[in-house]
């Protein structure tokens, strides 16, 4: 008997956004999708692993296409390497333009090889607790989408949630495995959400789409040709650096900012583009705010969910997240406490959505706590600013094996380096020297220098900066392995 043709699947992970409602753990330079909020993998890693496991006898899964920002490219690539998932392509948006242009870039990339794969599109900041149920639902969606249908995943509601949009399906197919979509509805008020739950046939919109790449472009051509044409123009001006692909910056800047739902999906019911929904009952959560994190974490008998070094007495229904110090709660209820080395959040659990207003204040006053953590990740490793004062700063720096910082100089500071572990190859002007544990050197102000790790174990040093200005923007790069300016 002749075997059926394999369905080619290209996972697409939308990896943008800053996650302001999960501050101070989520920041612009290290947003929530890269955080380990549940389990041992980040939300982005969880998404990549879920999609990698979709393959079966009839489905072949390619390496993922991710859409992210320029600043997060190495972070995303490194997190995929950590879980053993090969990066297919990273499409680097020069600025945010919402999900419709992002999906369009992914579709154009997927069609480059001449095939027309089924795109399985998911945000990078969601979690599910039932992996098998997710896989089963998504495989069903892939099979349906391979026929040319648009398929959206709808989460089976268990409460009258006002924070999500809803999908209404046709009642005639209420017990079917694949439903025809009747309409999309906006986030409802509490009474309307309860009415949806009572009536049945309504599902939460999870923002996950399954469709062929060519189908998406045809849908966009009919409903938003302006987005398609502008994105195509940016794609035509792209440049590639291995797996990193950058659309034309000037062309991308004029693309209308619009979501997949508003641009196209909401127009599909009743059109010539068939759109269906597969129910998803897999313990889904989008972890949009701290109350959602509390919902998915294990709790003690008093409803407390604690991570890190936390002690509590006579407290109920609290979330405490400690990253570097002991956090103690006494006689409190419904509180969220999140501790990081440079910021602490205390909030009523019912006000989780309002954390974003604190981030807005930080932005307006030009404070850095919304942008970077004290510990900052770089493609070569990381640094932790452990102390600073007038005219000095102390950093702990770790460099990965065989990695190096850029060849650079500073106009306003000198640096002292002390090797703690490993071996350091140091370029200091026209001299190159190797230092090992407990040895040190001095980099004068204005001297061209470079730090490299030639060994097979991580290199750690303590850096003491001194000078009139110690900002991270006081750097002139001459050579850089990672293409940074």
Q: Are residue 321 and residue 387 in the same domain, yes or no?
A: no
Select from 364, 388, 420 the last residue of a domain: 364
Q: How open is the CA angle 294-297-302, to the nearest 5 degrees?
A: 75
Q: Roughly how many angstroms between the first and final C-alpha of the chain, as a whole number?
A: 58
The three-point CA angle 224-226-231 to 5° equals: 105
Residues 94 and 35 placed together within one structural domain of the fold: yes
Instruction: Clarify whether residues 97 and 179 are in a common domain.
Output: yes
Please report whether residue 335 resides in a domain: yes
Q: Which residues contact 457 (CB under 8 A, 6 or more apart)?
A: 401, 421, 422
* Whole-angstrom Cα Rg for the chain: 25
Contact criterion met (CB below 8 Å) for 92 and 68: yes
Collapsed DSSP state (helix, strand, coil) of residue 370 = helix
Q: Are residues 401 and 336 in the same domain?
A: no
- On whether residue 209 sits in a domain, the answer given is yes
Question: How many domains does the chain divide into?
Answer: 3
Residue 1: inside a domain: no
Which is more confidently placed, 287 or 315? 315
Residue 369 lies in a domain: no
pTM above 0.85, yes or no: yes
Q: Which of 101, 122, 120, 119 is nearest to 213 (CA)?
A: 119
Matching residue, tokens 């061209």: 448
Q: How confident is the model at residue 16 (pLDDT cuts 50, 70, 90)?
A: confident
Q: Is the dihedral of CA 434, 437, 439, 441 positive or negative?
A: positive
User: Per the domain annotation, does 294 fall within a domain?
Assistant: yes
Q: What is the pLDDT of residue 163?
A: 83
Over range 25-46, report the average pLDDT. Answer: 91
Domain range for 388: 375-479
pLDDT tens readout for residues 284-312: 998 889 999 999 999 999 999 999 999 99
Q: How far apart are CA 250 and CA 54, in angstroms?
A: 37
Count CB-CB contacts under 10 A for residue 147.
Answer: 11
Give the angle 423-428-430 at the CA atoms, nearest 5°. Answer: 125
Helix (H) or strand (E) holding 357: helix 355-364
CATH code of 125's domain: 3.90.550.10
- Tell me if 485 is assigned to some domain: no
Asked if residue 342 is part of any domain, the answer here is yes
460 vs 400: CA distance, rounded Å: 9
To 10 degrees, the CA torsion angle through 129, 131, 136, 141?
70
* Residue that is written with structure tokens 């072949």 in the block: 60
pLDDT category at 472 given cuts 50, 70, 90 is confident
Tokens of 223: 């409903």
Quote the CA–CA distance of 69 and 66 in Å, as a whole number.
10
Q: What are the tens digits of pLDDT across the range 236-261? A: 999 998 899 999 999 999 999 999 99
Q: What does each C-alpha distance from 111 to 119, 275, 328, 352 come to in angstroms?
A: 11, 21, 54, 41
Q: Which of 119, 97, 151 is nearest to 51 (CA)?
A: 119
pLDDT of 41-56, one tens digit each? 999 999 999 999 999 8
Residue 57: the pLDDT is 81
Give the residues across from 319 on adjacent strands: 305, 336
Q: If DSSP codes are grouped into helix, strand and coil, which group holds residue 263? A: helix
Which secondary structure element, helix H or strand E, spans residue 428, and what is its range? strand 424-428
Same-domain status, 54 and 179: yes
Give yes or no: residues 311 and 202 share one domain. Answer: no
What region does 429 belong to: left with phi over 0, alpha with psi -120 to 50, or beta?
Answer: left
Tally of CB atoms within 10 A around 378: 18
Evaluate if residue 277 carries a pLDDT over 60: yes
Q: Are residues 328 and 247 in the same domain?
A: no
Q: Is 280 helix (H, G, I), strand (E, B) or coil?
A: strand
Do the Cβ atoms of 84 and 31 come closer than 8 Å? Answer: no
Percent of the chain with pLDDT over 90: 80
Q: Nearest Cα to 181, choosing from 266, 269, 121?
A: 269
Residue 171 — pLDDT band, cuts 50, 70, 90? Answer: low
The CB density around residue 239, as the number of other CB atoms within 10 Å, is: 9
Percent of the chain at pLDDT > 70 equals: 98
Bridge partners (DSSP) listed for residue 280 = 155
Question: Contact at 8 Å (CB) between 178 and 277?
Answer: yes
**pLDDT over 80 at 105, yes or no:** yes
DSSP 8-state class, residue 265: G
Q: Are 190 and 324 in the same domain? A: no
Question: Which residue, of 280, 304, 332, is where some domain finishes?
Answer: 280
Cα 251–chain centre separation: 24
Per-residue model confidence (pLDDT) at position 4: 63
**Tokens linked to 394:** 């102390």
C-alpha to C-alpha distance for 409 and 446, rounded to whole angstroms: 6
How far apart are the C-alpha atoms of 250 and 456, rounded to whole Å?
Answer: 42
The verdict on residue 2 lying in a domain is: no
Is 18 in the same domain as 121? yes
What's the rounded Cα separation, in Å, for the pair 81 and 74? 10
Average pLDDT, the chain: 93
Chain segment 341-361, per-residue pLDDT in tens: 999 999 999 999 899 999 999
Is the domain of 106 the same as that of 11? Answer: yes
Checking if the pLDDT of 418 tops 80, the result is yes
Residues 202 and 295 in one domain: no
248 cis-preceded (ω within 30 degrees of 0): no
Q: Which of 228, 257, 280 is the last residue of a domain?
A: 280
Asked if 279 and 156 count as a contact pair (C-beta separation under 8 A), the reply is yes
Is 399 within 8 Å of 392 (Cβ atoms)?
Answer: no
Q: What is the pLDDT of residues 323-346, one digit of tens each?
A: 999 999 999 999 999 999 999 999
DSSP 8-state code for residue 236: H
pLDDT, one tens digit per residue, over 172-187 is 554 568 889 999 998 8
255 with 385, same domain? no
Residue 161 confidence (pLDDT): 86
E strand map for 172-251: 179-185, 202-212, 239-241, 244-246
Task: Write out the two tokens for 325.
Answer: 């110090």
CA-angle at 265, arms to 259 and 271, nearest 5°:
150
């Amino acid at each position: 008997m002749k075997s059926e043709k394999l369905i080619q699947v290209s996972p697409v992970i939308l990896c943008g956004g800053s996650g302001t409602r999960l501050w101070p753990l989520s920041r612009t330079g290290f947003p929530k999708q890269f955080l380990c909020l549940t389990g041992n993998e980040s939300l982005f890693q969880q998404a990549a692993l879920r999609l990698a496991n979709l393959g079966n006898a009839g489905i072949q899964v390619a390496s993922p296409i991710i859409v992210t920002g320029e600043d997060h490219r190495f972070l995303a690539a490194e997190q995929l390497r950590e879980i053993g998932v090969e990066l297919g392509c990273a499409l680097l948006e020069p600025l945010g333009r919402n999900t419709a242009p992002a999906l369009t870039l992914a579709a154009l990339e997927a069609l480059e090889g001449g095939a027309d794969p089924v795109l399985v599109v998911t945000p990078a900041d969601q979690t599910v607790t039932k992996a098998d149920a997710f896989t089963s639902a998504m495989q069903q969606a892939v099979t349906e989408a391979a026929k040319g249908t648009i398929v959206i995943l709808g989460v089976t509601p268990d409460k009258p949630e006002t924070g999500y949009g809803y999908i209404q399906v046709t009642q005639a197919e209420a017990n079917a495995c694949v439903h025809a979509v009747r309409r999309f509805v906006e986030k409802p008020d509490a009474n309307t959400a309860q009415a949806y739950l009572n009536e049945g046939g309504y599902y939460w919109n999870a923002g996950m789409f399954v469709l062929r790449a060519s189908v998406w472009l045809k849908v966009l051509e009919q409903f938003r040709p302006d987005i398609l044409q502008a994105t195509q123009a940016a794609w035509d001006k792209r440049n590639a650096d291995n797996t990193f692909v950058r659309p034309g910056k000037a062309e991308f800047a004029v693309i209308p900012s619009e979501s997949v739902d508003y641009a196209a999906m909401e127009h599909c019911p009743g059109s010539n583009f068939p759109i269906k929904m597969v129910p998803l009952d897999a313990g889904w959560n989008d972890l949009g705010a701290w109350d959602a994190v509390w919902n998915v974490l294990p709790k003690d008998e008093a409803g407390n969910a604690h991570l890190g070094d936390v002690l509590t007495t006579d407290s109920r229904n609290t979330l405490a997240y400690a990253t570097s110090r002991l956090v103690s709660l006494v006689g409190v209820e419904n509180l969220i406490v999140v501790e990081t080395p440079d910021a602490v959040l205390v909030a009523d659990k019912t006000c989780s959505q309002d954390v974003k207003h604190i981030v807005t204040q930080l932005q307006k006053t030009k404070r850095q706590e919304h942008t970077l953590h004290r510990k900052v990740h770089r493609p070569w490793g990381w640094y932790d600013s452990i102390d600073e004062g007038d005219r000095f700063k102390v950093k702990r720096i770790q460099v990965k094996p065989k990695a190096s910082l850029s060849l650079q100089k500073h106009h306003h500071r000198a640096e002292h380096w002390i090797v703690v572990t490993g071996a350091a190859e140091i370029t200091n002007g026209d001299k190159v020297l190797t230092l090992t544990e407990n040895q040190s050197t001095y980099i004068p102000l204005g001297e061209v220098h470079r730090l490299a790790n030639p060994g097979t174990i991580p290199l750690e040093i303590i850096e003491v900066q001194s000078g009139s200005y110690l900002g991270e923007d006081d750097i002139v790069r001459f050579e850089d392995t990672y293409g940074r300016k």
